[in-house]
């Protein structure tokens, strides 16, 4: 199975990168599944129904999110109607939406996509480790699902790496999102689980984590910002991870960072 997972889409430039590159990559790499974290797609804060439509039309199959999922209030009602827009699974019971989706692909294979959020320096949600274990008790890699993919939206690399090591051999891949900087620790663990601490953002890197520079600089130097933060508008870099998995075992065979467009060093298209 051939999979692309992309990091946090920030603002218009990030959305344009998804629209530009995902259709090309789906065809060129014969992708079976595309997962994108879209929680900063709507002017840098949250995601809208129209953003979701744009992503699906570009060839995205599942949209994951994180701590900004509720920033656009329309999403509270919309998320109940869209099974492919996920919020973190470890939100409390009765929170709108869901944190897990199982897709049946055209080839008949089933893929589970899980969205989790960390608790270190983040909102005090339910235990993400327990939430993951509960899913893995019924979704068995290579038995009733051909692949299990986890987007762990968290601040600390230790929390993300611990979750991946705990689930090694039982999931296809765990990737981190949220910090908006791609990490260089791409690997496949001994049990066959692909990992990267953070995919990085899909946005303009001539910025401060995707935002125009002035507001964040003022915040750090003066403890307040004169202007409301808004996304940087230069050309975005699409950042993500390409994964190939064994259709029988569900374990990762190939993992490769993806960086296309913008000012970061590029990977091959």
**Catalytic residue numbers, as ranges:** 68
Identify the residue whose tokens are 């051939």.
2
- Cα–Cα separations (whole angstroms), residue 57 to 13, 15, 52, 217, 264: 17, 12, 9, 36, 26
Within 10 Å of residue 265's Cβ, how many Cβ atoms?
8
CB 61 within 8 A of CB 52: no
Residue 158 has phi, psi (to 5 degrees) of -65, -40
Task: List CB contacts of 72: < 8 A, sequence separation 6 or more.
Answer: 42, 45, 46, 47, 48
Residue 169 has phi, psi (to 5 degrees) of 90, -15
Quick one: CA torsion of 69, 70, 75, 77, rounded to 10 degrees? 120
CB 125 within 8 A of CB 101: no
């Amino acid at each position: 199975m051939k999979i692309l997972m992309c990091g946090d889409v920030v603002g218009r430039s990030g959305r344009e990168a998804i629209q530009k590159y995902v259709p090309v990559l789906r065809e060129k790499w014969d992708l079976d599944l595309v997962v994108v974290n879209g929680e900063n797609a709507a002017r840098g804060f949250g995601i809208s129904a129209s953003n979701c439509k744009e992503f699906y039309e570009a060839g995205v199959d599942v949209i994951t999110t994180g701590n900004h999922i509720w920033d656009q209030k329309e999403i509270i009602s919309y998320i109940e109607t869209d099974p492919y827009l996920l919020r973190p699974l470890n939100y409390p019971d009765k929170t709108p939406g869901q944190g897990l989706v199982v897709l049946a692909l055209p080839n008949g294979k089933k893929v589970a996509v899980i969205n989790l959020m960390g608790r270190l320096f983040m909102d005090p949600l339910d235990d993400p480790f327990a939430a993951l274990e509960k899913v893995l008790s019924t979704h068995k890699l290579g038995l009733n699902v051909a692949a299990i993919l986890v987007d762990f939206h968290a601040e600390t690399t230790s929390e993300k790496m611990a979750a991946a090591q705990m689930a090694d051999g039982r999931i296809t891949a765990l990737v981190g999102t949220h910090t908006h900087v791609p990490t260089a620790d791409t690997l496949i663990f001994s049990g066959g689980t692909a990992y990267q601490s953070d995919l990085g953002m899909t946005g303009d890197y001539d910025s401060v984590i995707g935002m125009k520079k002035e507001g964040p600089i003022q915040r750090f130097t003066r403890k307040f910002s004169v202007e409301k933060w808004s996304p940087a508008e230069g050309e975005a870099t699409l950042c993500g991870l390409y994964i190939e998995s064994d259709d029988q075992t569900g374990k990762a065979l190939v993992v490769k960072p993806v960086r296309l467009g913008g000012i970061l060093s590029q990977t091959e298209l």
